[in-house]
Copies of this chain bind each other. A is one copy, B any other.
């Protein structure tokens, strides 16, 4: 685990940005290509000003880059910061899965011990039979 205190502000803002369905939908659309603020806002039942604020949240999280061309602002996704979030999730979910695996391994080991015991008794029974 690299840290948990220094890379943290980025994670804060990235996870926070992702915690809103409007913003996730915006990112989803941006994955297909560059969009103007107006286009980005269009699908949502909210004022342009509100959408504009969501864009800024994404921008501050580093998930979106803005290119101003005249009076229109073009937005493109910048998914690099997602990697920190992914890394965090992967690390801890692996940790968790590891724990589950350990548990499962224990159960399997128990089961196998039982199986061996069963086979042994079968064999014994068979030997007695033969």
Query: What is the oligomeric copy number?
Result: 2
Interface size on A, residues (CB 8 A): 34
Q: Which residues of B contact A89 (CB under 8 A)?
A: 82, 85-86, 89
Chain A 13-51 interface residues, beta-carbon cutoff 8 Å to B: 13, 15-16, 18-21, 24-25, 27-28, 31, 33
Interface with B: A65-73, A92-100, A113-121, which one? A92-100
A-B contact list, 19 entries, CB within 8 Å: A1-B28, A4-B28, A8-B24, A11-B18, A12-B19, A12-B21, A15-B15, A18-B85, A18-B88, A19-B19, A31-B95, A79-B93, A82-B89, A82-B92, A82-B93, A83-B93, A85-B89, A86-B86, A89-B89
